[in-house]
Every structure is written in C-alpha cells, then in structure tokens.
Amino acid sequence: MKKSKTISLLIILTISLLISGCSVGSFNLFGNSKNKAPQEDLSGLGLEVIFDIDKIFTGKNLNYRLEIKNTGREEIKLTKEDIKLTTLQMDETGTKKVFTQKSIDLLYNNLFKDGDILLPQNVKLQGISGQLEVADWIFKTENIKNFEYTFKIKYHTKTIFSNNLEIQKLEKEPLTVTDKLSQAAPVQITHISAESFKNNIYHINYQLEDKAKTQNTQFLVNLQNMEFKFGSKDLTECMGFLTEGNALKRLPSLTLKNSQPTINYICKVDLSDYANTKTTTKTSGSFDYDYAYIQTESISLPENREIQDIFE
C-alpha cells in the first residue's frame, strides 16, 4: 500500500510519541508478516446462540425456541443475571412490558431449572422451548402495529494463544508466523506483524478481531488482563489503536463493537538478544473479557385481534 509523505509522517509520529516518547520510526499496520493472508480457525467461536420467536400468534401467545452451544475452548458459566429478554413499548401512560411477567418467569424457570448453566467445549443446551404471552394492554391497543424485543447473553471467557515465529531482523519484513493462528474463542488474534523502530527496538502488531460476530446481531466486548509474551519477555509497553483510513487513533479502552470489530494491539519489544541471522522464537499469552451477544427483532401484531374480556 502506497502512502503519501503526509500519512507516513502521521503514522511515524503517532507510534513514536504514544509508545516510545520519541520522534523517529514508523509502523505499517497493513501487514509486514510474510503470511500474506491471515490464517483462520473456525472450529471454535465461543457461544453459538439460536433464539427464535415465531411470528405467528396462537391467541396472544408466541412460541419460542432456544439453543446454546459452546464451541470455544473455555468452559462458560451462565446465571440468570447473564440472560435477559426485554420488551418495552410506549403508550399514553408511559413505558410498559410487552410480554407478561408470568410467561417470562416461565422461560427463566425452564432455562435454569437445574441451577446455573455450565457449558464445557462442544456441549449444547437444547430442548428449551415454550410460549411467551403478549400482555392485554398492547393487544387491546389497535394503533400499535408491532413491537421489538431484545435478547442478550453476556458471558465471561478467555482467549489463549501460542505461535511460533521466525525472525530476520535485517529484512524489510522481519517477522513470519510459521504455524496456524487459532484460538477457539470469540475474539481471536488474526494477524501478527512487526516493524523495526530504531536500533533493536521493534513494534509488534497483534490484530484482534471479533470472529463470533454475525450480520444480524450486535456485540460489545471489553478486553482486559492482557498478558502477552515475546520469547521469554513480558510485553508491558503496549497500546490499542484503531485504523481510520491510513491513520492511527489511540483507543482509550480495548473495546470491540459493531462499529470497530477489529483493533490493533501494538507492543514495543527489544530484540537485541536476537542475532541478525534467521532465528526462531514464540509469542504467547492470554486476555479475558465479557462478551455480550445482543439480538433485536421486530414482531408484527395481528391485524385483526380478538380482544379478551378481562372479566372472563
């Protein structure tokens, strides 16, 4: 990728000032690793969630079905606080719930009848189904044509990685990943590259991406407890950056969301202990996070509604 002198200077100054406090050096965000296409492993992406609500009413009821499978490496624990189904609608008196509390309670009792849910890797929770009842107030309000529901699952998990590297410090592309990038987690490292900064100081770029995202859902991920190693060295001088065009923007927090599903975690490392000839090493580490899966859908109310007599 060709860059103008202005863009190059901007990247140089951004990385230099924010990471090193110096004014010399540069970093190529767009890949200085010899593995041109990032290798992916799709065998594990955390929780796979299927929550379906029928669009056809049976009286005032809608059938639902829920399945949850853990495809990630880490065991997942879910409590009642981690799963939320919300439906709020306005009328002339204010905001009210669409589904009756009784039917929502039955859903939670069905889901947590045996207590908290523990899902090791490749274990599926299935057979969760029932009916959700639409409240009388909205069924009787003919000018309300539809409503939205939001289904949210929040769970804590971790990404662990370990990769073999080949280093040639004097080359333009000094780092090559020599094995497969795979972590079996919703957030994965999808690319690792490096750029010489000055002398034996290098910038290592770990590209972090939400691989569990889907087209019709929202997500929010706050990364924490970043413990990265390069060889035997702990990487402690690291910062998160977002790519905006050809420029870098420092992130106040390591957050992935729909508007930024990929960020760059850039660390400074001293490679003076490595020879100028071809050498090998490892990079490894882990980070954990709360992953929030958010599904929002709209449901149309029947055109012709038979109003139930509340005195029946």
Q: Residue 83 is part of which domain span?
A: 47-156+294-300
pLDDT at 218: 87
Q: Is residue 126 part of a domain?
A: yes
Q: Is residue 235 part of a domain?
A: yes
CA within 13 Å, CB half, 162: 1
pLDDT at 40: 39
Q: Is residue 312 part of a domain?
A: no
Same domain assignment for residues 162 and 288: yes
174 CB burial (10 A radius; 0-12, 13-18, 19+): buried
Query: Which helix or strand (DSSP H or E) is residue 49 part of?
Result: strand 47-53
Structure tokens at 257: 């969301």
3-state secondary structure of 167: strand
pLDDT at 17: 39
Q: Is residue 305 part of a domain?
A: no
Of 111, 110, 105, which Cα lies nearest the Cα of 68?
111
- Bridge partners (DSSP) listed for residue 279: 167
Terminal alpha carbon distance of the chain: 73
Quick check: 83 and 152 in contact, CB under 8 A? yes
pLDDT at 137: 86
Same domain assignment for residues 51 and 88: yes
Q: CA 253, CA 181: separation in Å to the nearest integer?
A: 24
- From residue 20, how far is each of 14, 16, 236, 273 by CA, in Å? 10, 5, 12, 20
Same domain assignment for residues 255 and 118: no
Q: Is residue 308 part of a domain?
A: no
Q: Is residue 309 part of a domain?
A: no
pLDDT at 248: 83
pLDDT at 309: 44
pLDDT at 91: 64
CATH number, residue 96: 2.60.40
Same domain assignment for residues 166 and 281: yes
Give the model confidence (pLDDT) of 151-165 as tens digits.
999 999 999 999 999
Q: CA 181, CA 166: separation in Å to the nearest integer?
A: 14
pLDDT at 84: 95
Q: Is residue 179 part of a domain?
A: yes
Same domain assignment for residues 239 and 107: no
Same domain assignment for residues 165 and 150: no
Q: CB within 8 A of 299, min separation 6: which ones?
A: 53, 55, 62, 146, 147, 148, 149
How many helical (H) and strand (E) elements, i.e. helices and strands, does the chain have? Answer: 3, 19
Same domain assignment for residues 61 and 82: yes
Q: CA 44, CA 288: separation in Å to the nearest integer?
A: 16
Same domain assignment for residues 54 and 138: yes
Same domain assignment for residues 171 and 258: yes
pLDDT at 305: 66
Same domain assignment for residues 148 and 162: no
Give the model confidence (pLDDT) of 180-213 as tens digits.
888 899 999 999 999 988 889 999 999 999 998 8
Total domains, the chain: 2
Same domain assignment for residues 208 and 248: yes
Q: Is residue 40 part of a domain?
A: no
Q: Which residues of 30-65 are buried (b: 16+ CB within 10 A; e: fewer)?
A: ebbbebeebeeeeebbbbbbebebeeebeebbbebe
Same domain assignment for residues 23 and 163: yes
Quick check: 132 and 64 in contact, CB under 8 A? yes
pLDDT at 163: 94
Quick check: 202 and 196 in contact, CB under 8 A? yes
Low-confidence stretches of the chain (pLDDT beneath 50): 1-42, 309-312
